[in-house]
Chain A
């Protein structure tokens, strides 16, 4: 009994810690500009004005569409390129493949912001500012190492006999991969959709520099225009954040059961 009670107290504490930021966010999003009470005090009334205002002023509809387009392109490319690259890396452990794998993994260590200036110059020279393709390619580049790492780890754990059985049944390399291997790595694909998807969806630094026109900006960038040195409309930003995180939350709930399996499997079978 005593053990259980302690367990529930600890669980309760963890739940509270996780809920507090959401409480503040939701609370702020309902507070009007004249409501000067502390962020801890519940809003005086349930006012949806902030949501409507931020939707209109920030053009959130268009921004969410941009998010969907960019995240979609990135995920598609990352999953296709990442899985295809990981398959031979996992199956043929030659020196050369190990070298390639090492190069991919070491890219994980480079903090993306350290190469911002040269990358920005490159994108400017290529004419990629305010385009979907430039921001998507940049995101794909930074997402690929993680993707290859996860896929390689997982595919290594699939018995080679499966490939051999495929060969006996008359599959070539491509159909082995697409018909046998790819369906098996679904948990990893779900993990990548969530991990990389959230990362790209919420990206601020790259989007801020590459997407300068309002018509192509994503949710985090349009919301940032409500905050400046001299004024900030934190209630609108809170409301905008709530709207902006809804789509990704839905996707997360949908893929959650795969996600947990994928994280655990990819981590163990390195």
Chain B
């Protein structure tokens, strides 16, 4: 009997040790020790120390990744002493980077997918002395630099997201491009009524959860930030009254209640959104131009357009959201930092940055290159004077709030929580994460 106790105690101890070792490591991750980059070490040894290998990782896949890879191949041709290990792991890129940050094993060069400053900032080398800094487009500068002058990453393009729409559907129901949220809702009402529910005004891949967050990220700006009378100061200093969020949550719940969203909103995925746009089963999507590119793969004949986000507050004007999109940052602990910087500089050449921007159908991040975004160029040209605001959550919410916003949005339309509870959850997490960030 005594023996059995002994055994169970042992089992418990081993399991605890296993779990604790996992917890403990996150603290160790903050210790700054030079990253040991093995891919490099081995390769350099093999090549008798002359040739260096840099590891490069990106979150993009498909055509965009191919363009990056092709430019990297050209770089290797011109620089025979530098070998580039290119990896594009796909959807688990973020998880992989979190593990790599915790163990100080970041690639020499990596993309920061919108988080250059907040998440990756402390791991990135300052690129302010690079020659290409002078050529950066003014519009993108604030997203990749800070007040102290640190340049975090090279932005090859700049995100400019609004609402994409199916032109044929809007023409069919005789709808003009909405300038305000009220007009957008009117349009939705017309489409729902006249199509008898066959066309969903808005299509949302809610099971992926980030498309839900898109709605909040898009309309938080016109609601709280962009108008002359706004709440940006309160959101930044923490004095924001979260009961204000009720109205926002209500607006979102209404979309679902009134049948403006696709019926399968909780099980559809992002891909279904692009598909619905391609097939004319929806009018508007809350995505950037990338959704049009995706939809055109399914229906090359698609007539799609692109518009700014309508205003909500009286007297305000429409806006875009934007910031960094395709970037390269250099790990500050990189052993081959010179080679890594050279690699980044190669992508900063206007013609190369242009290739990347074109593959994303976005304006280039480098000055002096015309926007060549295919059919979309006309829209970028037409809306060139529209304000581009940063994504709401990246500026006004602490790191970690994005998931809270997405999950609560899902819960709201599935009926799991009420509008009030949504606001309460937001307030609670906002305060908790803010406090954690200050520490």
Q: Does chain B have a CB within 8 A of A249? A: no
Interface string of B1-37 (1 = CB under 8 A from A): 0010001001100110011011011101100000010
Q: Among the listed stretches B86-94, B243-251, B330-338, B383-391, which one makes contact with chain A, having 4 or more residues with CB under 8 Å of it?
A: B86-94
| Chain B residues within an 8 Å CB radius of A17 | none
Q: Does chain A have a CB within 8 A of B59? A: yes
Q: Does chain B have a CB within 8 A of A14? A: no
Q: Does chain B have a CB within 8 A of A213? A: yes
Interface size on A, residues (CB 8 A): 43
**Which residues 189-242 in A have Cβ within 8 Å of B in the complex?**
208-209, 212-214, 221, 224-234
Cα–Cα distance between A110 and B87 once the two chains are bound (Å): 31
B interface, over-half SS: helix
Q: Among the listed stretches A5-13, A59-67, A72-80, A122-130, which one makes contact with chain B, having 4 or more residues with CB under 8 Å of it?
A: A122-130
| Chain A residues within an 8 Å CB radius of B92 | 208, 224
Interface size on B, residues (CB 8 A): 52
- Whether A102 pairs with B11 at a CB distance below 8 angstroms is yes
Q: Does chain B have a CB within 8 A of A118? A: yes
- Whether B88 pairs with A33 at a CB distance below 8 angstroms is no
| Chain B residues within an 8 Å CB radius of A109 | 11, 14-15
| Chain A residues within an 8 Å CB radius of B24 | 118
- Whether A228 pairs with B62 at a CB distance below 8 angstroms is yes
* Closest B residue, CB atoms, query A122: B103
Interface string of B37-78 (1 = CB under 8 A from A): 011011000000000000101011110010000000000000
Cα–Cα distance between A99 and B41 once the two chains are bound (Å): 41
- Whether A117 pairs with B22 at a CB distance below 8 angstroms is yes
Report the number of A-B residue pairs with Cβ-Cβ less than 8 Å.
131
Given known A-B contacts A107-B14, A117-B25, A224-B92, A230 and B38 have beta carbons under 8 A apart: no
Q: Does chain A have a CB within 8 A of B128? A: no
* Closest B residue, CB atoms, query A114: B22
Cα–Cα distance between A110 and B10 once the two chains are bound (Å): 13
Q: Does chain A have a CB within 8 A of B270? A: yes
- Whether B60 pairs with A110 at a CB distance below 8 angstroms is no
- Whether A102 pairs with B297 at a CB distance below 8 angstroms is no
Cα–Cα distance between A121 and B299 once the two chains are bound (Å): 46
Q: Does chain B have a CB within 8 A of A103? A: yes
Cα–Cα distance between A117 and B278 once the two chains are bound (Å): 42
**A-B contact sample (14 more), CB < 8 A, given A118-B24, A121-B105:** A33-B298, A98-B7, A105-B11, A110-B15, A117-B102, A120-B102, A127-B42, A129-B105, A213-B39, A213-B87, A224-B89, A229-B210, A230-B270, A230-B294
* A interface residues (Cβ-Cβ under 8 A, vs B): 33-34, 36, 95, 98-99, 102-103, 105-107, 109-110, 114-118, 120-121, 124-125, 127-130, 208-209, 212-214, 221, 224-234
In the A-B complex, the 7 residue pairs with the smallest Cβ-Cβ separation, listed nearest first, are: A110-B18, A106-B11, A121-B103, A117-B25, A114-B22, A225-B90, A228-B61
